[in-house]
Structure 1
């Protein structure tokens, strides 16, 4: 966290019996006030980082109004990657329902015998271990799959590579999701063609991205916030 600017003051003329003790007391009080301001500011920022899913995941305006840190993060990354936030957000909704610690559940036979392959997909982006490590090696990024900003950055990196490798438009959330689910080589082999359920889900993601974009276009001006909020976002 960057250093927070607290209230600044200047001791007045020290007269009477207070002397240096009075000055020390005033400095101590001022220090406590500054610490209190810091706690309030940090608390506000941390509240936006809460891992609880948004209350209305089907409306991008509601998501960004509720989670202001997500909005600022999404806008920074939109400027960085030149990918509309509606695309990775629609994929994230499908993959994890915006749950930070989402995992693939193991299935059981008769509720006792474990059955089926357990995927390493984890976090907001449901990124598997291998591709997450590839992302870290190629970008030099650290981070965590349970951190919204890190997960969103991973998804934008993946979408960018799908555009470069498989020539999928950055705004085509349907095909981007197919490549995200099947991998770049799988997409080229059209492995999704035999998975009707996956094609249906991909179209669902595409429709949601379009809906998100329409919603955002209608609320983007009011989402910008005031100068103080934007200053704090820049500061932290």
Structure 2
């Protein structure tokens, strides 16, 4: 009797501890930017993101607005984004449609390819710095393998979504919805570029004064 009472007394404590731990972990998550449609607003809110994106541009040559337009499309800047689950009878959740995860919705095998080739073995798909570096690296591969200009957000996104083999086979031509998405990414990159031109000087000045 005494053992059962002790066990039942411990259970709520354990449950409370787990709930508190989950709350703390949730609090540590990086919230998406409040105004994802404006690049200046994003970087004023998250100055370290500007540094990370600028570093990726310097390393790989893909413009910051193109990087950010791809992330906006893939995850809406949600760090742990995943594809939805298939559902049985529209109710019971089953497996997910792919292993895509994180800011860039990168699949497991593609992420391992990046980590192996760059030596960045500790990179995580829910770390913004790692994801913008990945996008820059992947765009560089698309440039060297497929000849896609690094500022060409439209075709860079198609290669990002379909993979290099799919892009060569022009699989996107059978997906009108994907062509519309790529147009949207290109339009976002253009808007982001205009916006960044109005605030980049002040962002650089702010960094220099830190």
Q: Report the TM-score range of the alignment, normalised by the length of the smaller protein.
A: 0.7 to 0.9
| Correspondences of 1:124-143 after superposition (within 5 Å) | 124-141=103-120, 142-143=122-123
Larger Rg: 1
- TM-score scaled by structure 2? 0.82
Structure with greater proportional helix content = 2
Q: Which residue of 1 aligns with 2:4?
A: none
Q: Where has structure 1 moved over 6 Å in runs of 4 or more?
A: none
Q: Which residue of 2 aligns with 1:19?
A: none
Gaps of 5+ in 2: 1-27
**How many Å separate the matches in 1 of 2:208 and 2:152?**
34
**How many Å separate the matches in 1 of 2:128 and 2:207?**
23
Pair 1:87 & 2:66 matched: yes
Pair 1:227 & 2:204 matched: no
| Correspondences of 1:69-84 after superposition (within 5 Å) | 69-84=48-63
Q: Which residue of 2 aligns with 1:160?
A: 140
Cα offset, 1:227, TM superposition: 3.3
**How many Å separate the matches in 2 of 1:51 and 1:116?**
26
Gaps of 5+ in 1: 1-48, 230-236
**How many Å separate the matches in 1 of 2:104 and 2:154?**
16
- Pick from 55, 80, 97 the counterpart of residue 101 of structure 1: 80
Cα offset, 1:113, TM superposition: 4.5
RMSD: 1.6
Task: Classify 1:226/1:51 alpha carbon distance in 2 versus 1 (closer, same or farther; 3 Å).
Answer: closer
Question: Which SS does the other structure have where 2:77 is aligned?
Answer: coil
Give the number of equivalent residue pairs. Answer: 181
Question: Which SS does the other structure have where 2:87 is aligned?
Answer: strand
Pair 1:61 & 2:40 matched: yes
**How many Å separate the matches in 1 of 2:171 and 2:109?**
20
**How many Å separate the matches in 1 of 2:95 and 2:82?**
14
